């Protein structure tokens, strides 16, 4: 089954490698972690109405079906929406894990997904290898257009070189002003791996931060959330803001109306706390 080429009409896209060339993907995605199925569908429909053209789900989130339903009900062409999902665990063999991947594709119900990631490196070297080989098979069979990883550290990405026919096109990691993940970001840049930033809004904990408020005040129409998203964009990351509040969904889509200057970026860069700024346990160093 050949997937059609995308015709994205967006304010900003980025090219990522594909087994048959390159494909476009939006520079901002909509996250649905911890969004219950019924609410997830409504939130996705609102996000699509606001101009989002990328949605990030996962097997672990248990809302893949609702993401697919929202895309179908939106009336937007399938080729104009970029869908990412994630494989949680190996199933004991490449064949069984491949079938688990296809189950997600069927659950979403859009024919194929655009990007399929390994969710975590925590299953160990053999589990990681099994999952990657399954994703490579899924890629060749047309179930996905690109494959990548999530929460991988440098050693996990280096390990892949011993068995990967297709290198990962993306690494989705927690990345925001308090947890800037500089070593893995630098590695990904040197190896043409796109960094996707989850928790870019630091789960709302910085909405009253004096530094963020001060920068927002200098950009009269910008909100703290937009400042944090814009910081990600100007570093070349793909931010994945998440909200189930329609007003905030619309607000988060507005990060293209201004640009941070060098002094703004320097201030935000100085907020980095390293791993101490992380909101979730980091798997980048797991065996």
Does an H or E element contain 57, and which? none
Set 18, 33, 112, 119: catalytic member: 119
61 noted as active-site residue: yes
- Among 277, 170, 171, 177, CA closest to 231: 177
Set 18, 33, 52, 61: catalytic member: 61
Structure tokens at 137: 């098979």
- Among 110, 116, 144, 128, CA closest to 20: 144
Question: What b/e string do you get for 37-64 counting C-beta neighbours within 10 Å, with b at 16 or more?
Answer: eeebbebbbbbbeeebbbbbbbbebebb
156 noted as active-site residue: no
Phi-psi region for residue 9, left (φ > 0), alpha (ψ -120 to 50) or beta? beta
β-strand 13-18 against 21-26: which pairing, if any? Answer: antiparallel
Q: Which residues are part of the catalytic machinery?
A: 61, 119
């Amino acid at each position: 089954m050949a997937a059609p080429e995308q015709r994205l009409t967006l304010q900003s896209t980025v090219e990522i490698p594909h087994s048959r060339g390159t494909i476009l993907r939006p520079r901002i995605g909509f996250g649905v972690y911890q969004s219950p199925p019924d609410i997830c569908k409504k939130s996705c429909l609102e996000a699509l109405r606001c101009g989002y053209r990328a949605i990030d789900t996962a097997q672990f989130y248990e809302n893949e079906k609702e993401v697919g339903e929202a895309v179908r009900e939106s009336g937007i062409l399938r080729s104009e929406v970029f869908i990412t999902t994630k494989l949680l665990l190996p199933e004991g063999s490449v064949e069984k894990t491949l079938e688990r991947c296809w189950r997600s594709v069927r659950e979403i119900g859009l024919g194929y997904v655009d990007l399929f990631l390994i969710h975590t490196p925590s299953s160990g070297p053999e589990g990681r290898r099994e999952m990657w080989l399954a994703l490579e098979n899924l890629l060749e069979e047309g179930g996905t257009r690109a494959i990548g990883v999530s929460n991988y550290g440098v050693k996990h990405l280096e390990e892949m070189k011993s068995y990967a026919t297709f290198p990962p096109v993306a690494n989705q990691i927690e990345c925001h002003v308090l947890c800037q993940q500089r070593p893995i970001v630098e590695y990904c840049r040197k190896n043409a791996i796109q960094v996707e930033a989850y928790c870019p809004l630091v789960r709302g904990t910085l909405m009253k931060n004096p530094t963020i408020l001060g920068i927002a005040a200098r950009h009269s129409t910008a909100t703290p959330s937009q400042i944090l998203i814009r910081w990600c964009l100007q570093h070349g990351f793909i931010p994945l803001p998440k909200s189930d509040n329609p007003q905030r969904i619309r607000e988060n889509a507005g990060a293209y109306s201004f640009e941070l200057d060098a002094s703004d970026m320097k201030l935000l860069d100085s907020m980095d706390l390293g791993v101490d700024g992380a909101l979730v346990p980091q798997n980048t160093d797991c065996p």
